[in-house]
Amino acid sequence: MDIKLNEDQIEIARQARRFCENESPTEYVRAMFEDERGFTDEIWGKMVEMGWTAMRIPEAHGGLDMDLMDLAVILEEMGRTVVPGPFFSTVLLAAEAIMEAGSGSQKEAYLPGIAEGKIKGTLALHEAEGGGDLGHIEMDARPDGDGFVLNGTKLYVPDAHVADFIVCAARTESENVSAGEGITLFLVDPKAEGVSVSLLPSMDGTRKLCAVEFKEVRIGAEEILGEAGKGWEPLCRVLQRGQVGLCAECLGGAQRAMEIATEYAKVRVQFDQPIGAFQAVKHRCAQMYVEVESARSILYWAAWAQDHGNPEEAVLAASVAKAYCSTVYRNATTSAIQVLGGTGFSWEHDIHLYLKRAKANEVALGDPVYHREQVAQFIVG
Amino acid sequence: MDFEFTPEQGAFKEEFLSWLKKDLPDDWDPTRYRNLDSTEEWARAHKDFQGRLYEAAYAGLHYPMEYGGQGRTLMEEVIVLQTVATTCVELRMPGVITFGMAAPTIQYCGNEEQKKEFLPKMLDGTHIWCQGFSEPNAGSDVANVSTRAVKDNGHYIVNGQKTWTSFAHMADYCILLVRTDPDAKKHKGLSYLLLDMKLPGVEVRPIIQITGEQDFNELYMEDVRVPVEMLVGNEGDGWRIAITTLMFERVIGDVTMAAVYQKNIERMIEMAKQSKRAGKPVSEDPIFRQQLAQAYIEVMVLKYHGLRNLSHQISGGIPGPEGSIGKLLWSEPNQRITEAAIGMQGPNSQIMGGSPWSVQDGFWQYSFLRSKGNTIEAGTSEIQRNIIGERVLGLPKDITRVARQQ
C-alpha cells in the first residue's frame, strides 16, 4: 500500500500549476468565457507542447502511454484555474473512445493527430429525453447498405463547435435487446451533409455545450467505430475515465474555492475581528477542508482503480467518486460565496467561474443521482 | 500509487482470519451486536480474548518486542483490527481506551519503567484502562480541569471528579489529567497521571446513556494517594501529552471504524431487502436506494481517507491536526447512516430489540441512539472544526478566547 503521488507526478503537478497560472490567468478565462470559440490556438498549442494531448495515447500511435493518474494530476491543476477549451472533450472523451473501440486503422488515422494537437474531437451522448441518465440512447441509426443513416438530435455535446470529429452513440438495434445492447459508435464529420452544430447558452461559459442535429446523415462502414451493435461496453469504459477526470477537475476547483474563502476570512474584518475567527465562518472553511481532502482520497482510489484495479472495482469507484467529488465541488463553491458575502455574488469576483464549472461538472457524464443508483445496483442489485 | 496489500500482508490476513475462526466459540454470532450480557461477562470475555491474541502473537503487532509487542508494522496491526472489527468487534470494544489512548501515551511519552510495567499487561489482556479527562466543567473545554493533585511525600494527593469516564466500571487503571499548578496558565498547569483504580478513595458511579446501557461513568477521587512514579513526562506537560499522543493512534481508529461500517452497510442492505413498504422491498424504492448508495459512499470516503493517512504514517509521515478529519468522517456519517436505516423501517423503527417484530434484533435502533454520542465523545464536531480551522487552515481564534487565555 502506497497512497501518494510519486516524484514524477509531483513534478508534473508543479509544472502544470505553473503553466495554468501563467498561461490561463483570470483575464484569459474571462475572455474565453465570453468568446464563442472558447480558447485560443496559442494556448492550445502550448498545451500540446507540454505533451498533455499525447499523455494517454499509446506509444505506437505517437503518444506517451501514461496512466490516467498522471493525467488526473494535470486535470486537477486545470480545474484549479478553470482552464477553458476543448481539452477534456478531445483528450478524455474522443481520444479514449478511439483507444477503447477503434480498429487499428482508425487508431492510426486519429490518435497521432490528437497527440500532436492537430485534431480535436468530442463525444455526442445525451438526448433530450434521457435527463441525467447516461444509458438512454435512442437516436435512430437506420441500416443503409454497408453503413447507416443517422437522424436525431444530440444535446450538451461539449465543444462540438470546434471539433474535427464527433464520436456519436446511436441505436442500431431496438428489437429484443436489453438497454446496453444495440448501441453503435460512429465517427462523424461535423461538416458532413445533414449535420448542424449550434452553441447552447450554457451557464459555464468556459465549457461550451452544443446541440448537434443529424438529418439523413449517411455513415459509411469505415466510420463505424469498432463493431456495430457493440458500442456500449467500450463506451462505459470511456465514460468511467471521463468521470474520474472530471473528479480531478472538481478536486482542483474545490481546493481553490476553499483557499479563496479561507484567505478572505483571514483578512476581512467585521465586528472588530477577522470573520474567520467567528465559528460560523471558521466551521464552513473547516468543512470545505474535510471534504476536499476526502475527495482527494476518493479520487486517488478511483484513478488507481482505472489504471490497476479489477474492472468491477474500477466501475464502482468511478461512480462513488463522481457522486462524491462533484458534490464536494458544488458545496465548496456555494460555501465560498457565503463566506465572501456580497463580494462573492459579484461578477467581478472569480468565484462564480468556479460555481459555474462545479454545476457543469456535477451533471456532466452522469449526475449524482445517476451515480448513486449505479452504486446501488452494484451493492444492492 | 498502490491500494493493495503486499502478498505477505494478504497471507497474514488469511492466516489471522483462520486463527480467529477457530478461536471464537462455536455459538458466536457475528451478526448479533450483543453476544454478552453482563458487564462482568463482557470484561472477562474481552480480557480472555486479548490474552489469546497475545499468546498467538497477534497482540500489539506494531509495539516493540521488549514491551510485549511483535515488532512488526502498523499495517499488520491494522489487518488484525479490521478483521476483528468485522467478526467480533464486541470483544475488542472494552479495550478502546487501553489501546487507543493509554498504550500509545505510555509508548511515546512514558519512561522505561512505565513501559515495562504497563505495556505487556495491556497487550496480554491483564488490564483494562479508562480515560479520566472530562469533568462536569471541563467538557469541550477539557483544559479547564479542576481535579487537583498535590505533591506530598512521594505521592500526589488527588481530589476531584471526572465524568463520562468510558469503561471505568471495568477498568484496572485510568489515564488521568490533573491540575498540579493552579497558578500557571490554564493549559500549562496540567499533568498526566496513571491511576490504579483499586486505590482507596476511588469511587465509580454509573452513567446510564440514552441507549439504556452503561458505557460511561462518573469517577470520584477523594484523597487518593498516587505514587509520583505514576507521573507521565514532567509536571506541567499534561496538556501536550494528551493532545499529541492521540494523533498517532487515530488512523487505526479510522480504518477500523471503516471496517465496522462496511459490515454495517451489508447488514443495512440485508434489512432493506427484507423490509417492506407498500408491500414491496424497501431495497427497490428509488429514494431508499439513493440513501443506501450514499451510506456506502460515505463509508468508502472514511475507508480510503483512512488508508491514505495510514500509508502516509507508515512511510514516516508525522500525523498532525489534520487527523481531526477522520473523527468527523466516522462520527457524522454514522448518524446519517443509522438515521437512514431506521427510516427504512417506517413505524417499525420504533421497535427495539427483543420482540418477534424486531428488525435485526433492534441493531439499528440501538445504533441510531448510540450514534448521537459519536459527535460528542472524543472531541465534539465543533472542537474538531476549530482544530482544523485554526491549526490547519490558520484562521484566527475568537478574540474572547484569546483574551481569556492571556
More confident residue, A174 or A80: A80
For residue B388, the domain's CATH number is: 1.20.140.10
A38 and A100 both lie in a single domain: yes
User: Does residue A1 lie within any of the structural domains?
Assistant: no
Whether residue B146 sits in one domain with residue B206:
yes
Measured in degrees and rounded to the nearest 5, phi and psi for residue A246 equal -65, -35
A51 in the same domain as A91: yes
Q: Which amino acid is at A228?
A: A
Residue A297 domain-assigned?
yes
Whether residue A363 sits in one domain with residue A284: yes
**Beta-ladder partners of B132:** B176
B73 and B173 both lie in a single domain:
no
B308·A277 Cβ contact <8 A:
no
Per-residue pLDDT tens for B157-190?
999 999 999 999 999 999 999 999 999 999 999 9
pLDDT in tens, A331-351: 999 999 999 999 999 999 999
Please tell me the distance from the alpha carbon of residue A293 to that of residue A36, in angstroms, as a whole number.
35
Query: Quick one: B20 and B148 in the same domain?
Result: no
- Rounded Cα distance, A168 and A122, in Å: 9
ipTM over 0.90: yes
From chain A residues 340-379, the ones with a CB under 8 A of any chain B CB are: 369, 371-376, 379
Statement to judge: residues B367 and B322 lie in one domain: yes
- Which of B77, B90, B235, B249 does the annotation list as catalytic? B249
Range of the domain at A72: 7-119
Residues B147 and B67 in one domain: no
Is B251 found in the same domain as B370? Answer: yes
| Residue B200 and residue B112 share a domain | no
Phi and psi, residue A122, nearest 5°: -155, 180
Cβ-Cβ contacts under 8 Å, B395 against chain A: 262, 265-266, 274, 276-277, 281-282, 285
Active site residue B249: yes
Kindly give the parts of chain B with pLDDT less than 70. 404-406
For residue A195, being part of any structural domain is answered with: yes
| Domain membership of residue B193 as a residue range | 131-234
The answer, yes or no, to whether residue A330 has pLDDT greater than 70, is yes
Same domain for A151 and A200, yes or no, is: yes
CB contact under 8 A, B1 and A272: no
Domain contains A318: yes
d(CA B338, CA B344): 10
Chain A: residue nearest B305 by CA? A297
What DSSP string describes B51-74?
HHHHHTT-SSTTS-GGGTS----H
Test the A interface: residue of B2, B3, B274 with most A CBs within 10 Å: B3
Q: What is the pLDDT, as a whole number, of residue B406?
A: 59
Report whether B304 contacts A301 (CB < 8 A). yes
**Block residue for cell numbers 467518486:** A321
pLDDT at B405: 62
Answer yes or no: is B1 within a domain: no
Q: Which residue of B has its CA nearest to A272?
A: B399
CA distance A304 to chain B (A): 7
Clarify whether residues B137 and B77 are in a common domain: no
**Nearest 5°: phi and psi at B218?**
-95, 145
- Same-domain pairing of A156 and A84: no
The CATH number covering residue B18 comes to 1.10.540.10
Q: Are A340 and A245 in the same domain?
A: yes
Partners of A323 on chain B (C-beta within 8 Å) are 293-294, 297
In a domain, B384, yes or no: yes
- Predicted confidence (pLDDT) per residue in A241-261, tens digit: 999 999 999 999 999 999 999
Q: Are residues B181 and B271 in the same domain?
A: no
Number of domains forming the structure of chain B: 3
Give the pLDDT confidence of A359-368 residue by residue, as tens digits.
999 999 999 9
Provide the H-helix boundaries in A188-231.
Answer: none
**CATH code (residue A371):** 1.20.140.10
Does residue A126 lie within any of the structural domains? yes
Last residue of a domain, one of A65, A90, A119: A119
Query: How many domains does chain A fold into?
Result: 3
Domain stops at, among B127, B160, B188: B127
* CB crowding B211-242: b at 16 or more within 10 Å, else e: beeebbbbbbbeebebeeebbbbebbbbbbbb
Q: Which of A166, A194, A229 is the C-terminal boundary of a domain?
A: A229
CB-CB contact of A330 with A354 (8 Å): no
Whether chain B has a CB inside 8 Å of the CB on A3: the answer is yes
Residues of B in contact with A281 (CB under 8 A): 395
Residues in A closer than 8 angstroms to B1, CB to CB, are 2-6, 69, 300, 303-304
Biggest distance spanned by C-alpha atoms of chain A: 78
Cα B346 to Cα B278: distance, rounded to the nearest angstrom: 11
Q: Which residues of A touch B300 (CB under 8 A)?
A: 298, 301, 320, 324
With a pLDDT cut of 90, the percent of chain A lying above it is 97
Q: Which three cell numbers stand for residue A358?
A: 462545479
pLDDT attached to residue B387: 95
Same domain, B217 and B289: no
Distance from CA of B293 to the nearest CA of A (A): 5
Averaged pLDDT for residues A123-132: 95
| Residues of chain A numbered 46-85 and touching chain B (CB < 8 Å) | 69
The answer, for A133 touching chain B at a CB cutoff of 8 Å, is no
End of a domain among A204, A229, A254?
A229
Q: Domain check: are A367 and A259 in the same one?
A: yes
Q: Say if residue A251 is in the same domain as residue A286.
A: yes
In a domain, A2, yes or no: no
B340/B333 Cα distance (integer angstroms): 10
Domain boundary (B234, B251, B272) is at B234
The CATH number of the domain holding residue A20 is 1.10.540.10
Q: Looking at the structure, tell me whether residues B390 and B251 fall in a common domain.
A: yes
Whether residues A142 and A100 fall in one domain: no
Smallest Cβ–Cβ distance between B311 and the set A3, A278, A381 belongs to A3
| Residue where a domain terminates, one of B234, B269, B298 | B234
Q: What is the CATH number of the domain that holds A173?
A: 2.40.110.10
Place of cell 455459538: B27
- Tell me, what's the pLDDT at A320? 98
Does residue A351 form part of some domain? yes
For residue A7 the three cell numbers come to: 516524484
Mean pLDDT rounded to a whole number for chain A: 97
Secondary structure of residue B213 in the 3-state scheme: coil
Do A181 and A87 fall within a single domain? no
pLDDT value at residue B318: 82
pLDDT band at A176 (very low <50, low <70, confident <90, very high): confident
Is A90 part of a structural domain of the chain?
yes
Indicate whether A110 and A12 sit together in one domain: yes
Residue A62 exposed, middle or buried by CB count within 10 Å (0-12, 13-18, 19+): middle
Residues B320 and B373 placed together within one structural domain of the fold: yes
Judgement on whether residues A133 and A82 belong to the same structural domain of the protein: no
Residue B109 makes CB contacts below 8 A (sequence gap 6+) with B192, B232, B233, B237, B241, B244, B245
* Interface membership of A248 toward B (CB under 8 Å): no
